[in-house]
Chains A and B, each alone.
Chain A
């Protein structure tokens, strides 16, 4: 039972982290209609910035804040220099152009920081396990992630649902031309939204940095998952991204945790232990295919709202 609770917490933590990535992606997707494969690169940059700034300032928190600001700036610069030119093109152009950007960012990072990768140590006050429920020990750092990401999700909810900027964002997701017709500075709004998405990706990268090693290509692995979430949730829908992220987080973690035993029972040790990681990764894609077949616009479509 303890194990089950712990695995659920792991799933929750992973899902919330994926939400940070997917939220930025779905905003950019929904409002600018831009498929941004380079979103994973911003996640990687967040992690590199965090490791670098934390080493400079000697403080984890300072490093984290600076990293988020830096990714925000890089994101806005990227929007002004390159992304802006891709709006209005078809999705294929987006896929290609941003695929090229992935290659560029990977190599640029290698040029600047070297191939070896960096590490960001967890601050001492979080580097322990705590008893969150009687008898359930859990990593303090992962628990902190759950709290911080929940706070960010709440902030996003208020931003999108309760503020003027949020109103424009929502309006942009369902009817782009309309927002422009209202006389809003659409260019600035786009730059800000892209920057916000970048900052969220940077935050996700920064959060993952101590758990994973900061390394080149770290964005590619997680990018596709973030896309899957965006699509399952319905493009442009923050709420959909939240639900889908938790769904994917739980399926991934619980699949890895309990699938192997079941398969080993069924297929025998050798075949089962090879098939288990593959099949548990496959479940996420099966889920997505099923959802799209039943609801071709995802769970919560922004357009049909």
Chain B
């Protein structure tokens, strides 16, 4: 009986093994894994990133360096350990050439190791975990976004210029929230009267924190709540009677996805971003117009960064003429960043993070629509502040 069993299972094994592929055959296509959140309350962000990534592929004729492109989208469900499993699947099972996407700092920090260990290039399209730009930087890690502290520093500098003397900080208690508020504090010259960290992502009622902010008599409030939580925060800010009495500053909490739901509650709120829909350059015009045409909505900054990520990967594949097995050459081609970014000129610093401008944006109402208008260029050609901690020079 045992023999039959053994034979049967051996036969079974052989039956399923035709999946054996000639792994070292000539590169026939470019495989890209894209990890983002496609389910749950923040699925709209993931969808927006996917739309932009697909639009970029359309603009490239769905080919990179003459090779057809295959993108595998994976859902991290906003959980670090799931993101890591998906990353492992992409590099071990699908054997992708590039991994892109990643909204959340905690997810990317849990997931980057298997990708880098498999010598696969990771092009981060949003998550700004600072350690990946600094002590844990790698020749295989690139970002078309920023680190968590950069945008808040720009906002803090702007508030310094405006002469704001005191501020109350509120943010979520996870990697990006802590790094964001820490970045703000490092640059703000006035007094930080109080700071609150809330449970992420489950806490959505901010009444206790807002009551404290109101009682603190701070001149301004600075907050960071990406995705749906940003909508809640702004609505509750208005309902608590703070809107109009204490000016609100933020980063990453207002975008084209949340604005239609924030509406009046967002009017007048000021934030800083490295990209704006109204940036006057040809690549951006084409991106924004075609995005609106194809998907019927305004692109968000998540979309802009994902579009750039696809374009960057495309430029590198073209740069090495589709020969992706020479990792050093691919790295060089990525470093060149030979593509038209929607944020204008694009170049990488030594740690593979962009050196870029930051723009101050204010929410205004145009007709019946709400939009973010660029009111000032906060800073020009800012290098990533963590390059010094990175061993790559």
Which residues of A line the B interface, CB within 8 A?
A: 2-3, 6-7, 10, 13-14, 110, 114-119, 121-122, 127-129, 137, 139, 141-142, 210-213, 215-218, 221, 253-254, 256-257, 260, 273-274, 276-278, 281
Contacts and interface: CB of A to CB of B under 8 A. Distances in A.
Given A10-B207, A117-B261, A281-B199, A211 B241 contact: no
B261 A213 contact: yes
A141 B197 contact: no
Contact of B228 (A215, A256, A273): A215
Interface in B31-85: 38-41, 43-44, 47
Contacts of A273: 173, 195-197
A273 B215 CA distance: 19
B239 A211 contact: yes
A285 to B, nearest CB: 14
- Interface centre among B41, B44, B231, by most chain A C-beta atoms within 10 angstroms, is B41
B257 interface: yes
A8 to B, nearest CB: 10
A277 B212 contact: no
22 contacts: A3-B212, A3-B215, A14-B205, A14-B207, A110-B43, A115-B39, A115-B44, A116-B44, A117-B261, A141-B239, A142-B207, A210-B239, A211-B205, A213-B235, A216-B41, A217-B41, A256-B198, A273-B196, A273-B197, A274-B197, A276-B197, A277-B198
Given A118-B261, A122-B235, 13 more contacts: A13-B207, A14-B207, A110-B43, A115-B38, A115-B40, A142-B207, A210-B239, A215-B41, A216-B43, A217-B40, A217-B41, A276-B197, A277-B199
A215 B39 CA distance: 11
B202 interface: yes
Interface string B227-249: 01001100110111100000000
A110 B39 contact: yes
Nearest to B211: A6
Interface string B198-229: 11001111011101100100000000000010
A129 B240 CA distance: 6
Contacts of A260: 196-197
Contacts of A281: 199
Contact of B209 (A141, A254, A256): A256
Interface string B120-134: 000000000000000
A245 to B, nearest CB: 15
Contacts, number: 108
Contacts of B203: 277
B211 A117 contact: no
A141 B261 CA distance: 18
Contacts of A129: 239-241
Given A213-B232, A253-B207, A128 B196 contact: no
Nearest to B264: A121
Contacts of B173: 273-274, 277-278
Contact of A257 (B38, B202, B211, B261): B211
A115 B209 contact: no
Nearest to B233: A213
A2 B217 CA distance: 13
Contact of B235 (A210, A216, A278): A210
B39 A212 contact: no
A129 B242 CA distance: 9
